[in-house]
Chain A
Amino acid sequence: MPLEILKTLSDETFKKKVMEISGENFHKCYQCGTCSGSCPMAEHITVLPRRVMAFLQLGNREKLEQSNTPWTCASCHTCQVRCPRGIDIPKVMEALRLLQLRRNINQIEPSSISKKEIVDLPQIAMVSGFRKLTS
């Protein structure tokens, strides 16, 4: 019975899309939590990477779309080098970002960054920030 309920809630199209963009099979995840324990942003994200994997397995699009996790991930790859299942978690985060960015929705607006900040920022920060956070 519980399995059946989950199945009806699972957004299979969403799951497939994330798999397609990331090229990663999140079903390999066995929920050890090494990623969450390694994440430098752990205290700033609403859904830890282990739970991101779990929600993906369950196809829970809503939970993932409400989370700030992909937008706070710095692509540091610590989880990636430590994952015992060899899942490239940063790629999954990228897929979650792109699902929004590809609808032409920006996470940050380059034109609203204060002039003072732009004067201080190194080019590398803007290039990388715009790549990850603008469509």
Chain B
Amino acid sequence: MSSTEVAVKTEIKARLIPVYIMGKKYEVPETLTIMKAIEYAGYKYIRGCGCRGGVCGACSTVYRKPGDYKIHVGLACQTVVEPDMYLTQIPFYPALRGTYDFTELTGKPEEIFEIYPELFRCVACNACTKVCPMDVQVMDYIAALKQGDIQKAAELSFDCIQCGLCASRCMGELPQYHIAQLARRISGAYLTPRAEHLKTMVANIETGRFNEGLDKLKAMDENTLKKTYQEREMEPATAGEDWAPKDNQYL
């Protein structure tokens, strides 16, 4: 089989469908993601494209389908094209980000109210939740923050990728995703309980208990170090609860 034959076969496989990119019609293979289709149509990304893996939130896209009043959303790198879709990418949407000295915060809800008083302009229209490509319950986390429940807001907004589509649709002109980020920061730094065993361990390290062992390792030449590593005592896969290493001087 010659190489030209292979190429012809590939072309037959991928049927071309019409899509409208920013209002202009293009014929693109139906198997492509929106991002690939945009590139196929001849556009070159210098912005609005990041990880290509559905995580970074740079390629949020809104689109409509014929005969359907609803606004649809998706990440361009994750969403496959559909015939006659009208789409545009919204790589960035301006939203006011509050300035604050994080070390001065203590975790009181009033601190969020101070930085983002516009929080109280939410009318619970739910446009934010409807437009979220990550299915975050945006309206619910805003409601939780209005009630002063930072932990709940942090949990509800955990999947947020900061794409900003919520802010683009907001009637109350809120920068939801920035507010949620602050909530998660506060949650992580001030509200989530500290692990007690970690505290004990850090204190232990600070007493210098492990310095001698570390110094010994640091002084080794590369080969000895490798050998020591390979010969280290390992917990067997079948070990029971009561297993303990023979060398227990650091326990």
In contact, B121 and A119 (Cβ under 8 angstroms): no
Q: Does A130 contact B (CB under 8 A)?
A: yes
Chain B positions 111 through 125: 1 when the CB is less than 8 Å from some CB of chain A, otherwise 0: 001100110110000
Measured between beta carbons, the chain A residues less than 8 angstroms from B113 are: 118-119, 121, 123, 126
**B169 interfacial contact with A, CB 8 Å:** no
Interface size on B, residues (CB 8 A): 10
CA distance in complex: A111, B96 (Å): 11
Q: Is the interface of A mostly helix, strand, loop or mixed?
A: helix
CA distance in complex: A12, B121 (Å): 33
Give chain A residues whose Cβ lies under 8 Å from the Cβ of B121: 110, 130-131, 134
Contact with B along A107-121 (1 / 0, CB 8 A): 000110101001101
Q: Which of A118, A123, A127, A131 contacts B114 (CB 8 A)?
A: A118
Cβ–Cβ contact B146 & A118, under 8 A: no
Q: Is B110 an interface residue (CB 8 A)?
A: yes
The chain B residue sitting closest to A129, CB to CB, is B120
- Residues of chain A lying within 8 A (CB to CB) of residue B117: 110-111, 113, 118, 126, 130
* Residues of B with C-beta under 8 A to A121: 113
How many chain A residues touch B (Cβ–Cβ < 8 Å)?
13
Q: Which residue of B lies closest to A128 (CB)?
A: B120
Set B110, B120, B148: member contacting A127, Cβ < 8 A? B120
Residue of B nearest to A125 (CB): B120
A127 and B118 in contact (CB under 8 A), knowing A118-B110, A118-B113, A119-B110? no
B112's closest neighbor in chain A, by CB? A118
Is A119 a contact of B114 with CB atoms below 8 Å? Answer: yes
Residues of B close to A115: CB separation below 8 A:
114
Q: Would A126 and B120 count as touching, CB distance under 8 A?
A: yes
Give the distance to chain B from A84, nearest Cβ to Cβ, in Å: 35
Which of B110, B120, B147: most chain A CB closer than 10 A?
A: B120
Q: In residues 83-123 of chain A, which contact B (Cβ within 8 Å)? A: 110-111, 113, 115, 118-119, 121, 123
* Residues of B contacting A131 in the complex (Cβ-Cβ under 8 angstroms): 121
Give min CB distance, A123 to chain B, whole Å.
6
A127 and B110 alpha carbons, distance in the complex (Å): 14
Smallest beta-carbon distance B113→chain A, Å: 5
A82 and B173 alpha carbons, distance in the complex (Å): 38
28 contacts between A and B (CB under 8 A): A110-B117, A110-B118, A110-B120, A110-B121, A111-B117, A111-B118, A113-B117, A115-B114, A118-B110, A118-B114, A118-B117, A119-B113, A119-B114, A121-B113, A123-B113, A123-B120, A123-B146, A123-B147, A123-B148, A126-B113, A126-B117, A126-B120, A127-B120, A127-B146, A130-B118, A130-B120, A130-B121, A134-B121
Give me the interface of B with A, judged by CB distance under 8 Å: 110, 113-114, 117-118, 120-121, 146-148
Given contact pairs A119-B114, A130-B121, a sample of 6 additional A-B residue pairs in the complex whose CB atoms are under 8 Å apart = A111-B118, A118-B110, A118-B117, A121-B113, A123-B113, A130-B118
